[in-house]
Amino acid sequence: MKKLKIYMGWDKRETVAYDVARRSILKRTSLPKTTQIVPLQLEHLNDYLTRPIEIKDGRMWCPISEAPMATEFAISRFCVPFLQKKGWALFVDCDIVCLADIAELFALADEKYAVMVVKHQHTPRNAVKMDNQIQTSYARKNWSSVVLWNCDHPANKRLTLEKLNFSPGRDLHAFNWLKDDEIGELNYGWNCLVGIDDPDAVRVGILHYTLGGPWIEGWAGGPMDDVWNAEAKNE
């Protein structure tokens, strides 16, 4: 039976979001016995991720990127091919709700690509995002928030531990170790950005609350909150 290995971003400030995202996947998968979700917790990645993290003005800061880190999984997502090594694996941010069978996403895997992503053309309009984090703009923004990894693909061997630990984050998020034709495209329904994309224009597989959501203390409210709240209540 096919195994579905999913690595999910984890941040101690977003454990509620993680739990809801995890449950939404397991609730709808057609392969419950072989769907495995692994949280990418920094303390478990010391064999791979050695780049420094500093705290500036109470926020995480990456001295290599000379930029803030909005979450603990800003870079840890790029550990997936080191952890998995073979086969296909999925990375997803934890601020998502999965509304479809995740096996459908794995079924789109095409061996000719090193990764497959939704190729958003998103230029942030605001200076801050969820939890008052600084909104950093970079090439191919949000492409790396849902990634179907082909861990066998030889092009991913270019992502070395040296590149992982010494490259600016913006280069990693732009998949700069890959050629353009090595990056496959997914329908944007598999990474539908809440408050940015039109959820009525496509069959939504994954709602991505990239601007924040009801799990954030003091959240003022936003689009699709009802969907997240229903999942939180396991309705």
4-232: CATH, from 3.40.50.720, 3.90.550.10, 3.40.50.300, 2.40.30.10 = 3.90.550.10
Decide: residue 73, CB within 10 A, 0-12 exposed, 13-18 middle, 19+ buried.
Answer: buried
Q: What is the pTM of this model?
A: 0.92
Summarised one tens digit per residue, pLDDT across range 93-106 is 999 999 999 999 99
Residue % of the chain over a pLDDT of 90 = 89
pLDDT at 134: 47
pLDDT at 139: 81
Q: 9 has which bridge partners? A: 40
pLDDT at 208: 98
Range 156-163, long-range pairs (CB < 8 A, 24+ positions): 156/81, 156/114, 156/115, 159/78, 159/81, 161/48, 161/82
119-123, 134-138, 229-233 — most confident range: 229-233
Summarised one tens digit per residue, pLDDT across range 3-45 is 999 999 999 999 999 999 999 999 999 999 999 999 999 999 9
pLDDT at 3: 92
Q: Where are the domains of the chain?
A: 4-232
Average pLDDT for the chain: 93
Report angle CA 210, 223, 138 to the nearest 5 degrees: 25
Task: Give 127's pLDDT tier (boundaries 50, 70, 90).
Answer: very low
d(C-alpha 41, C-alpha 138), whole Å = 24
pLDDT at 135 over 50: no
Decide: residue 75, CB within 10 A, 0-12 exposed, 13-18 middle, 19+ buried.
Answer: buried
Task: Give 131's pLDDT tier (boundaries 50, 70, 90).
Answer: low
pLDDT at 133: 47
Summarised one tens digit per residue, pLDDT across range 153-209 is 999 999 999 999 999 999 999 999 999 999 999 999 999 999 999 999 999 999 999
pLDDT at 1: 56
d(C-alpha 85, C-alpha 88), whole Å = 9
Q: Return the structure tokens found at 191.
A: 């990474």
Count of alpha carbons within 13 angstroms of residue 151, beta-carbon side: 17
SS3 content of the chain, % helix, strand, coil (to 5): 30, 20, 50
What is the edge-to-edge ordering of all strands in the sheet holding 67-68? 54-56, 59-62, 67-68
CA dihedral 185, 208, 144, 46 (to 10 degrees): -140
